[in-house]
């Protein structure tokens, strides 16, 4: 009986776990969830999970681990570490030392609890039950891909897991976030006006922010070391100065543009092996009204040259000139928040994601949704092929939207400003 289970002696668990009937499994009602407790030592397993969860901190893995495990496997890998079970034994046939079906069921029933209550996003209190269900499905699929065998009882036939997922969706419902206000041209120019061109760190901020905005690029793609938890510098995975190149360019109709800049990005989530050679190409626009990431980056490097003996591959592209160390994501985010407030837009001080959203909004108005999407990360070989064939259109679209307020952005009836008024 449930009352005989040693877990029932814990008041928090006793108050949270309720039995629907004498023949049904416990169901989650609050933030504590225990499904079927058929493991050999359920009390130790759950106590260890609760204790580890209380001191959980965001984990960083080596590039080889990030490349090997997708999101579901990464969660399951961390879950196994905190629970103290063998990642390699899970999914292996019992004849080869793998867990039994009953043990796999209990592991799978605890995994969605861990996913809901241990988000890896900074400042996020929990994941939703639907997200945990996706991680659970992904884990079963990934294990099947590795071992060619289904893990545990199917969810539809596992009453404890089925009831647990239903309860998780009630306790952790999906929350639709309000739409985020984008940073458009007028705000971007106001922010740049608050920067001191004679301040070395401000030049780094200008280069980083305008590159993110114009290239519709994630800041994490340009500041890579944060993903590796302070691991030693690795030229294959970090954004060094050798990944930024300049070349002559001839752009008809744009006399101020004669240089093309290429940002060769390190491997990322959509290209973990680096096989497709992710890169961003921007034109160095020297006209006074342009918001040109390539111009600010080249100016930053010109005024902060490499010292004798410095290796470009081992030198951060965006570094603090006073320390020589890479500008961190947190510092760049805090600085953007501060300068958005100085520019009179504290309502946009939500983080570096607003840069990418604003650039995407502006580029969509100038070049269309497909080119704007192509400027972001591609998720398939087919989309990459389309992007490559439209690389000239993408460059010109980014150039037009980063210049003066011409075209749709200057017209009060244009889509960007109309969109902006509605969101205010």
- Residue-level pLDDT, tens digit, the chain, 424 residues: 223 333 334 444 334 333 322 333 333 333 333 333 333 343 454 455 445 444 444 344 444 433 334 578 888 888 888 888 888 888 888 888 888 888 888 888 889 988 888 887 777 888 888 888 888 888 888 888 788 888 888 888 888 888 888 888 888 888 777 777 888 888 899 999 999 999 999 999 999 999 999 998 888 888 877 666 667 888 888 899 999 999 988 888 888 888 999 999 887 766 666 666 778 889 999 888 789 999 999 999 999 999 999 999 999 999 999 888 889 888 899 999 999 999 999 988 878 888 988 888 888 877 777 777 777 765 555 666 666 677 788 888 888 888 866 554 555 444 455 454 444 4
**How many CA atoms within 13 Å lie on the side-chain side of 412?**
0
Tokens of 277: 């050679």
pLDDT, residue 310, reads 93
pLDDT, residue 316, reads 93
Considering only the C-alpha atoms of the chain, give the largest distance between any 2 of them, rounded to a whole number of Å: 82
Residue 309 burial (C-beta neighbours within 10 Å; 0-12, 13-18, 19+): exposed
Please name the residue ranges forming H helices in 148-277: 159-171, 185-193, 200-214, 219-222
Contact (CB, 8 A) for 36 and 160 = yes
pLDDT, residue 267, reads 78
C-beta neighbour count of 419 within 10 angstroms: 16
Contact (CB, 8 A) for 215 and 280 = yes
Contact (CB, 8 A) for 292 and 283 = yes
| Closest of 59, 56, 57 to residue 228, by C-alpha | 59
DSSP 373: H
CA dihedral 250, 254, 259, 264 (to 10 degrees): -100
pLDDT, residue 240, reads 92
> Which whole-number Å values give the CA distances from 377 to 277, 374, 381, in the listed order?
12, 7, 11
| Closest of 389, 393, 412 to residue 401, by C-alpha | 393
Residue 26 burial (C-beta neighbours within 10 Å; 0-12, 13-18, 19+): buried
Distance CA 191, CA 343 (A): 5
DSSP 248: E
* 282-299 b/e (C-beta count within 10 Å ≥ 16 → b): bbbbbeeebbbbbbbbbb
- H helix and E strand count, the chain: 17, 5
Contact (CB, 8 A) for 261 and 297 = yes
Instruction: State the pTM of this model.
Output: 0.63
Q: Is 68 helix (H, G, I), strand (E, B) or coil?
A: helix
Q: Is 235 helix (H, G, I), strand (E, B) or coil?
A: coil
DSSP 26: E
pLDDT, residue 289, reads 78
């Amino acid at each position: 009986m449930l009352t005989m289970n040693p877990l029932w002696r814990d008041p928090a668990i006793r108050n949270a776990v309720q039995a629907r009937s004498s023949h049904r499994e416990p169901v989650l009602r609050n933030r504590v969830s225990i499904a079927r407790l058929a493991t050999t030592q359920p009390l130790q397993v759950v106590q260890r999970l609760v204790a580890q969860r209380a001191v959980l901190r965001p984990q960083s893995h080596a590039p080889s681990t990030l490349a090997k495990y997708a999101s579901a496997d990464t969660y399951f890998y961390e879950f196994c570490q905190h629970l103290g079970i063998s990642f390699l034994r899970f999914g292996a046939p019992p004849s080869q030392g793998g867990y039994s079906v009953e043990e796999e069921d209990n592991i799978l029933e605890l995994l969605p609890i861990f996913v809901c209550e241990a988000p890896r996003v900074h400042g996020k209190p929990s994941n939703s039950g639907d997200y945990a269900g996706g991680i659970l499905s992904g884990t079963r699929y990934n294990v099947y891909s590795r071992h060619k065998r289904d893990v545990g009882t199917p969810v539809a036939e596992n009453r404890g897991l089925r009831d647990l997922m239903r309860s998780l969706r009630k306790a952790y419902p999906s929350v639709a976030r309000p739409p985020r206000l984008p940073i458009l041209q007028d705000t971007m120019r106001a922010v740049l006006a608050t920067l001191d061109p004679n301040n070395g760190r401000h030049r780094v901020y200008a280069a980083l922010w305008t590159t993110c905005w114009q290239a519709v690029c994630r800041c994490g793609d340009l500041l890579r070391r944060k993903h590796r938890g302070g691991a030693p510098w690795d030229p294959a995975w970090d954004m060094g100065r050798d990944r930024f190149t300049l070349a002559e360019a001839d752009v008809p109709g744009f006399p101020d543009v004669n240089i093309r800049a290429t940002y060769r990005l390190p491997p990322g989530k959509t290209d973990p092996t680096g096989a497709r050679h992710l890169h961003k190409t921007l034109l160095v626009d020297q006209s006074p009204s342009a918001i040109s990431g390539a111009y600010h980056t080249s100016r930053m490097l010109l005024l902060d040259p490499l010292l004798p003996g410095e290796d470009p591959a081992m030198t951060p592209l965006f570094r603090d000139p006073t320390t020589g160390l890479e500008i961190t994501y947190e510092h760049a985010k805090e600085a953007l928040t501060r300068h958005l407030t100085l520019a009179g837009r504290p309502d946009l001080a939500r983080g570096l994601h607003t840069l990418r959203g604003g650039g995407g909004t502006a580029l969509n108005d100038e070049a269309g949704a497909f080119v704007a999407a192509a400027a972001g990360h591609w998720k398939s070989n087919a989309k990459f092929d389309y992007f490559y064939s439209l690389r000239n259109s993408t460059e010109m679209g980014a150039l037009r939207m980063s210049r003066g307020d011409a075209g749709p952005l200057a017209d009060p009836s244009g889509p960007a400003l109309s969109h902006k008024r509605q969101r205010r």
